Structure 1
Amino acid sequence: MTQPTPLTDLQALTHNRARADASALFLQEAARDEIEDRVAMVNKSFSSAGIVAAFPEVWQGRSGAAQVVGEAETLPFSQGEHDLLIHSLGLHWANDPVGQLIQCRRALRPDGLLLAVALGGQTLHELRACLAEAEIAETGGLSPRVAPMAEVRDLGALLQRAGLALPVADTVPLRVQYQSMWHLMRDLRAMGENNALSARSRIPPRPRILKRAADIYATTFPGDDDGIIASFELIVLTGWAPDDTQQKPLRPGSAQARLADALRTDETSLPD
């Protein structure tokens, strides 16, 4: 049976990551800072952390004795090795994101914490729309230029599929101003986030398509001082390795008090 083509060309992704400029990794740094803030708010001490990072150097000097590893389809963690696992801004390129979370779940000790950050569906929605409009107008067709990214609801469901308890998914929106679409595209290349889709066209887009897209962008999504706005969305996933000490939802119908009594109000039955 023919295997389906993976979403991400991992060889191209590795090539893109290798060309990245360390001075342009502000999204990786934003994800790291968000994770560090959330770990600091957890009322629990962690003794052994593992970190999966697209750019491990972003975590240098910030992670103590943590085991920091790069992106890989098979993560080099032993079962029950850590009580804290971090997956930092690489999940959106994974061909098997639920598999990545399952591997993290296996590497956690009971009541261990997983924090994962991925780029979400609102990321670069302006760029996607402008490129699509320009290409359809110029050629009558459409090529995948920007990776499709999951919505928060979809990524949250992956936590449950991976067997994690107390799953939570929320978003951190970021709006960045650029001088033009050309500056945005150069920045994406510098941060290693340019096109690595398996289905991408190997032929560079025609100059007139990019010129038209840049004009549409400047008109439709203006920023201050004749610049443009680009949106990025960090989706933060939180889950715990199951443990008997964790809170569990009550059985439906097992409540011992009425909500109306707690609110000190009258309960009115609705008509049939």
Structure 2
Amino acid sequence: MSGLAERYGPWALIAGASEGTGAEFARQLAEEGLNLILVARREGPLDALAAELAGSGVKVVTATVDLAGKDAVARLAEVAAPFEVGLLVFNAGADPNGVGFLDGDLAAWTELATRNCLTVMAACHHFGRLMRARGRGGLLVCGSGVCYGGIPGIGVYGATKAFDLNLMESLWAELKPNGIDVLYLVMGRTDTPAHRKLTLEQGRDWEPETMASAADVARLGLERLPHGPIQNWGLADDEAGWATISAADRRRRIEAIAGASSYAKKG
């Protein structure tokens, strides 16, 4: 995984960095020598992570931002303005509701869709433009296997992840000629504090031995970022498995469509 600082540095911004997979991205990027902008809603865990990384030899900036807020990306842009951000990792976006669509408040679903769709889209737009101007960069959005089909009880969450899947596949084709790597990291069940909390609240057994570790998931995402646009956790690039179609086949499909599109011909 060496060479990340040269490919994406000098700064990486991690949205949803306070714990779990986001914190693991921060630790591994610090080991690679990238300076970090750590963003989350809760200040305490951010400060604790920043203190942990203080001896790593990289600079660390923290910012508390509600990623479902209307001003979320404006806040991200303001915090990042003094720095050259070459890598955006968007790790926020879990579903904390744990109820069926009609049993939840519309405001909760609107907040989830705003964070997972509108904020992701606006963040990729803002930082993608800056990366295009510099001729290199990386956009990595963490997703879920529910992007491939609806599941009762998590309808809005699954719909937002499908939105992100299609957005990132499209951006991969559009931005590849500009030196920007794009990856949608399709995660499975991962051992994180947020997942543990929701599982126990729903009265289900917590079985971390059956789950992926957050460190392994983050490591895979960073390793596969240059290859994009999809990485399915637990599956080889050419293996369909539970995803029904392999990442390699999706890549070939996107390349074929992009090659025949008016957008590609204009480029």
TM > 0.5 fold call: no
Structure number with the bigger relative contact order (C-alpha 8 A, sep ≥ 6) is 1
Which has the higher Rg, Structure 1 or Structure 2? 1
More helix by share: 2
TM-score norm. by structure 2 comes to 0.40
TM-score norm. by structure 1 comes to 0.40
